[in-house]
Amino acid sequence: MTTVANLIAVSTASPSAARKLGHRLIRRSDVSLLLLILVVTGVAAIFLSDFRTLSNINNLLNTTALIAIVAIGEAIVIIARQIDLSVGAILGICAYLVGEWSHRIHGPLGPVFGVCVALALGAVFGLGNGFLVSIFKIPAIIATLATLSIYTGIQVIVNNGTQLYLTQVPPWMAGLRGNAWFGIGTFIWIAFICLLVIGFILRRTRFGRDVYSIGSNPDAAIYLGVPIRRRTFQLFALCGALAGLGGLLYVSQYGNVDATAGSTLNLTVIAAAVVGGVSLFGGSGTALSAVLGALLLGEIQNILELTRISTFAVQTLQGTAIVVAVAVYAVASRRQRRPVRREARIDVSSEGYAAFSSLDGTAEGAVNV
Amino acid sequence: MSNVRRYVVNWEAGLIVLIVVVLVGGQAVDHDLISSFNLQTTALNNVVLLCLAFGLAPVIMTSDIDLSVVGTLALSGVVMGDLFAHGMNTWLAVAIGLVIALVCGLINGVLVVLFDLPALAVTLGTMGAYTGVSFLILKGLAITTFPNVIVSIGSSNITGTQIPFAVGVLAVIGVVMTYLLHFTAFGRSVFAIGGNRKAALYSGISVNRIRITTFVISGFLAGVAGLLFLGNYQTAQAGMGASELLPAVTAVILGGVSAYGGTGTVPGVALAAVLLALLQSALGLHGLSGEGQTMAIGILLIVAIGTPSLARLFQDWKRRRQPIVSKIATSGASANE
Amino acid sequence: MSKGGEGSLFKVFCSKASSEIVLVQKCMGGIVKNRIIRKSVMVLAMAGITMLPIAVVAGSGPAGAAGSTKVFMIPKFTGIAPFTQAAAGCKTEGATLGLNCLYGGPTTGSATLQVNFINNAVSAGDKGILISNDDAATTNPALVRAEHHGVKVVTFDSDALKTGRTVYVEGTSTASIATTELNMLGSQMKPAYSGSFIILSAQATDTNQVQWNAQLKKDLSMAKYSKMKLAAIINPPSDTAADATTSLQAALASYPAAKGIISPTTVAIAAAAQYLTTNNLCSKIVLTGLGDPNQMAPFMTKKNNCVHSFALWNFTQEGKVAACAMKAVLAGTLTGKTGQSFTCAGVKEVVLPQQTVAAGAATVFTSANVKSAGF
């Protein structure tokens, strides 16, 4: 019994401390990432004349916007110490179906209908993931691996051997990419709105706070009374909804939806979140992190293209960028936290905390201490 | 220990039952499943997958993951192919390729273990990096001529039998891995680390060394998989083998290795790979489309992993429905255990 | 043990076990039989649950007219219209010839996945394989093995190595594709037929792309095209719109002097058209190549006339000719020697060098006829 009391005492003490630490950490890492992006942009703009053309910047931001929107959804899932490998397939299905169904609705209600359908459809597929993770208790990486194959299969069936052509899509959807409101492309506006909305949700709502608690300390979250099951459903649904919205944008970006739509996106989105500072251990990161990560990756690719470095080198450099980013964040965050991971030292005061924040974080780990 | 083995044997028994079901059902419906040609080609199509799975098994058992195995496969395969094309001695080229694969695994191990970075992110990055290097070496070209001995290893049968040589190679690897993971102290440490890393550390296991070793093993076997790929498909091109990652991970998970680590067996992984291969063959023979086959694998994975949890949920629900009186009686009885 | 049998044994020996392993440790004692029965039922239920959706998805298996010969058609990948049309052509023409033309392939352009389908076709006893190869070298071992087993191989759209097939049916002759592309591009360039251009192709191993691009390079030495310069051949890593767009963006940055793009693949030309439109480059860069009329129609309107002309041949026709060729090969009358011929729907097809048959002529599409195409 004393063990349990100890655990509860430690758990009530540490999550709020961890969360405060986490929030401070987030702000610092986001700011430093923003500075890094500004520096890179500045250097590129000075040395590469092609970089600072309006069309290049416009292109860069618009392409990044699509990835950023889906990356925000992925970030939510990763913050909760889960993962979603099926976002690309969800995007592809929604791109096709939303494009096809939107043709039936005319008039000003069209965009509203389209966006709602995209969000709802994506959420449905996301709920499928949530169901597997919370009811079937399948680890997220396996569940979403399985749903990746299932949803890809559904995508092929839905496409039925053909594609969705631009002529079959309502004009507001087809022109979304090319339009601009007040001089800034619609994609960028949509990404900005998503950033604000999700940022607000994560910071100020109970849902957001619960996502962070689940991610930083799942066992403590149970003791704190967080409705884990409901939150799991909700966060996967939210991720799916954002992927669906990305699908809506996809139609306009590439003008054509076939059965491979979104397939290249799966790992890129996770890479964007990771580079942006969303830790795969859970509990830290914001929507802004995901957006900045997507922006940095997009910028690196753009610069590599413009400096005429062999296109074959791009993949290598992107992979290395991910590893470097992860290493930098790990080192930076370790300096913030107490040294609980030093193997040799057994720090009595932090032992309870250490037991919880052990890398497996499973129930067995807690009980066995 | 024997009880754990009995639990574990239950999973393998389940796999064997499913394999029998697929064989019998598939043969009954299509009459072509059990023919020497079909079994040979099915086996050859899946040797790369199984080799990757054998390498991934210890990594996942220590609750890490290694997504970069396909990158290592591509890189070592491309290097070997390139060296073959330049006329280097076959075995020297193979040795160089395998050493490169070892180094790739070592890099992964160092990054994940010594720098304490999340394995998923790191191996995601190194997968891109290794695949990218394979592109840098070979660009868009493909190498299509290989020394005869490599081709025989990859595609021919063991002389005098109907069994492909590659299957024999895998059998040897399987036996070695089984011994390593189930009959040595190393293997026991792997399971201990997977079950509870802190406890393993406190009981004196050198966690870092073992974890790095698992990454090196997965890298090495990815190199061997690259060699088998070259022999089987007789082509080396940048980015080869990328489609084998998800099936390999599926085979490992289906084989009973928990994603959290600490459980699973190597024979289980082999059985799971056999099941996947036969299932795809049976479905393909029946005329199921490509997407239908991948969907079937996904559903199988969910059912296989989800059923134990559902069973446990059902048990919990049943236990909760017991009347309180007998609960007190049993808690008294178990307190006296 | 009180009444309740297995239930009470369960309660006595299995206390608050939190994991399955502990449960087993405590319960193995008296309830082995029941556990085994339960596990077997669970496993069989798993098998049943897995098979049910598969049976539903599979629908009716390959049903064909009694007595018809089964042949299997494998596209580069399923899901784009050209291959679906070829399959339809094969089916309709095959039905008149007594062939049951089955269709199946991977969902992504991967030759290693195609190998599975080749092997399955042989195992299933199909008499012929029609295949459009993602990579001639990778599928070759499997095709050679198929031929050893007496299965005839006819390639269409994208060839294999000579050792792996009897005859190759191309949509239209390689030579005409190359000259049509150069003519379409050259006529739109300002000044005509001069300037540098890039080829936005598909995967580097796609046999048909390699052949067409090689022919085009050869043709550039002709006097008519002497002022046109090929800056680069771009090979996106996969046949998807996203990769084609990324590769195009990089290419335009690397070759800013390029005035034109030839894209001999329907996926990439559509992606390129959309890219040029959204970046307002339509007036600066000429885009042409091989495209699907349905995909290109939005770019040939009054509002958006990014593309002025492109070409394609009739894939349904190609599928029909492939079926006829297969029939002739199975009958033994067609062995691939230059000059041999066979009839298909009343049209005589002749075998050209390299065991090739051209299924028809390419149609050049402009805004005038793009909508009316019966594709």
Instruction: Please give the Cα distance from A329 to A292 (Å, whole number).
Output: 14
- What is the per-residue pLDDT for C60? 41
What DSSP designation does B158 have? P
E-strand stretches of B1-141? none
Distance, CA of A167 to CA of C296 (rounded, Å): 9
In the structure, how many helices (H) and strands (E) does chain A have?
15, 4
Whether residue A163 lies within 8 A of chain C, CB to CB, comes out as: yes
Chain C residues within an 8 Å CB radius of A52: none
In a domain, B244, yes or no: yes
Q: Which residues neighbour B171 within 8 Å (Cβ) at sequence distance 6 or greater?
A: none
**A153 touching chain B per CB within 8 A:** yes
Residue A46: CATH number of its domain = 1.10.3470
pLDDT in tens, C181-199: 999 999 999 888 999 999 9
H or E stretch at C351: strand C347-352
The residues pairing with C99 across neighbouring beta strands, listed in sequence order, are C69
pLDDT in tens, C141-180: 899 999 999 999 999 999 999 888 999 999 888 889 999 9
Cis peptide before C191 (omega within 30 of 0): yes
For residue B291, tell me if it sits in a domain.
Answer: no
Alpha-carbon distances of C144 from A62, C129, C150, C152, rounded to whole Å: 48, 12, 10, 10
Task: List chain B residues with CB under 8 Å of C235.
Answer: 140
Q: Which helix (H) or strand (E) holds B143?
A: strand B142-143
In this prediction, residue C47 carries a pLDDT of 65
pTM: 0.83
The count of structural domains within chain B is 1
- Which three-class secondary structure string do you get for A87-119? HHHHHHHHHHHHHHHHCCCCCCHHHHHHHHHHH
Chains A, B: CB pairs < 8 Å: 171
Nearest CB neighbour to B32, from listed C50, C112, C124: C124
Terminal CA-CA length for chain C: 77
Q: Which of C42, C116, C124 shows the shortest C-beta gap to B311?
A: C42
**Which residue in B244, B245, B295, B314 has the most chain A C-beta atoms within 10 A of its own C-beta, making it the best mutation to test that interface?**
B295
Residue A86 carries which side chain, given as an amino acid letter?
A: S
Supply C66's token pair. 């009694």
pLDDT of residue A91: 97
Q: Is A319 on the interface with B (CB under 8 A)?
A: yes
Q: Do B259 and A154 touch (CB under 8 A)?
A: no
**Residue A147 touches partner B, C-beta closer than 8 Å:** yes
In a domain, A359, yes or no: no
Compare all CA atoms of chain B with the CA of C204 and give the residue at the minimum distance. B140
Residue C246 CB partners (closer than 8 Å, separation 6+): A301, C236
Task: Please say whether the beta carbons of C85 and C316 come within 8 A.
Answer: yes
Return the number of other C-beta atoms located less than 10 Å from residue A205's C-beta: 11
CB burial class (10 A; 0-12, 13-18, 19+) of residue B75? buried
Domain hosting A67: range is 32-329
B149 touches chain C (CB under 8 A): no
Low-confidence ranges of chain C (pLDDT < 70): 1-67, 373-375
Report pLDDT for C348: 85
Which domain covers residue B99, as residue numbers?
48-277
- Residues in chain A predicted with pLDDT less than 50, given as ranges, are 1-15, 18, 21-22, 24-26, 338-369
* Interchain CB distance below 8 Å, B288 and C44: no
Report residue A23 as tokens: 């929030």
pLDDT value for A71: 97
**Measured distance CA(B262)–CA(B58) in Å, rounded:** 10
Q: Cα separation of B172 and C6, whole Å?
A: 43
Q: Are A292 and A37 in contact (CB under 8 A)?
A: yes
Decide if A147 and B260 are in contact by the 8 Å CB cutoff: no
The pLDDT assigned to B324 comes to 65
User: What is the enclosing helix (H) or strand (E) of C39?
Assistant: helix C32-58
Q: Looking at CA atoms only, how far is residue B238 from chain A in angstroms?
A: 10
Residue C45 has what pLDDT? 66
In our burial notation (b when 16+ CB lie closer than 10 A, e otherwise), range C236-273 reads bbbbbbbbbbbbbbbbbbbbeebbbbbbbbbbbbbbbb
Contact C245 A254 (CB under 8 A): yes
Residues ≥6 apart with Cβ < 8 Å to C328: C334, C342
- Beta strand C152-156 with C167-170 is parallel
Contact indicator for A172, A196 with CB cutoff of 8 Å: no
How near does any CA of chain A get to the CA of C34, in Å? Answer: 24
Taking contacts as CB-CB distances below 8 angstroms, the residues of chain B near C124 are: 30, 32, 285
Nearest CB to B132; choose among A141, A147, A319: A319
Q: Using CB atoms, which residue from B17, B285, B333 is nearest to C12? A: B333
A152 lies within 8 A of chain B by CB: yes
In angstroms, the separation between the Cα of residue B47 and the nearest Cα of chain C is 12
Are C24 and B1 spatial neighbours (Cβ–Cβ below 8 Å)? no
Expressed in percent and rounded to 5, the helix, strand and coil fractions of chain B are 80, 0, 20
> For residue range C64-114, what is the model confidence (pLDDT) as tens digits?
455 689 999 999 988 788 899 999 999 999 999 999 999 998 888 888 889
Q: Report which of B275, B297, B294, B284 is spatially closest to residue B30, judged by C-alpha positions.
A: B284
Question: What separation in angstroms does the CA of C195 have from each of C178, C189, C268?
Answer: 17, 7, 22
User: Please, which residues 108-167 of chain B have a Cβ atom closer than 8 Å to chain A?
Assistant: 111, 115-118, 120-122, 124-133, 135-136, 139
**Facing A319 at nearest CB: one of B127, B289, B295:** B127
What does the pLDDT read at residue A10? 42
pLDDT 10s per residue in chain B (337 long)? 444 555 556 788 889 988 999 999 888 888 878 888 888 889 998 999 999 999 999 999 999 999 999 999 999 999 999 999 998 899 999 999 999 999 999 999 999 999 989 999 999 999 999 999 998 998 877 888 888 888 888 888 887 778 889 999 999 999 999 999 999 999 999 999 999 999 999 999 999 999 999 999 999 999 999 999 999 988 898 888 888 888 999 999 999 898 888 888 999 999 999 999 999 888 888 878 888 888 988 998 898 888 877 777 778 888 888 766 655 655 555 444 4
In A, residues 7-66, which contact B (CB 8 Å cutoff)?
A: none
Q: What ipTM does this complex have?
A: 0.84
Amino acid identity of C48? G
How many domains, chain A?
A: 1
Please report the number of interchain residue pairs, chain A to chain C, with beta-carbon separation below 8 angstroms.
110
C128, C164, C166, C168, C335 from C331: Cα distances, Å: 11, 18, 13, 17, 10
CB atoms within 10 A of CB A288: 25
Instruction: Of A72, A101, A61, A60, give the one whose Cα is nearest residue A257.
Output: A101
Domains of chain C: 1-31 (no CATH), 69-171+315-360 (3.40.50.2300), 174-312 (3.40.50.2300)
The residues near C347 (Cβ < 8 Å, ≥ 6 apart) are none
B151 Cβ contact list (under 8 Å, min separation 6): B231, B234
pLDDT value at residue A147? 95
Which chains would you list as touching B if contact means 3+ CB atom pairs under 8 Å?
A, C
The pLDDT of residue A12: 44
Q: How far is C134 from chain B (nearest CA, A)?
A: 13
- Determine, yes or no, domain membership for B315: no
Question: What is the overall mean pLDDT for chain A?
Answer: 82
The pLDDT assigned to A33 comes to 86
Burial class (CB in 10 A: 0-12, 13-18, 19+), C41: exposed
Q: Going by C-beta distance under 8 Å and a sequence separation of 6 or more, which residues neighbour residue B154?
A: B44, B47, B165, B166, B227, B228, B229, B230, B231, B232, B233, B234
Residues A321, B117: C-beta atoms closer than 8 Å: no
Q: Are C319 and C85 in contact (CB under 8 A)?
A: yes
Residue with tokens 């239950």: B10
Domain annotation covers residue A151? yes
How far is Cα C276 from Cα C304, in angstroms, rounded to an integer? 11
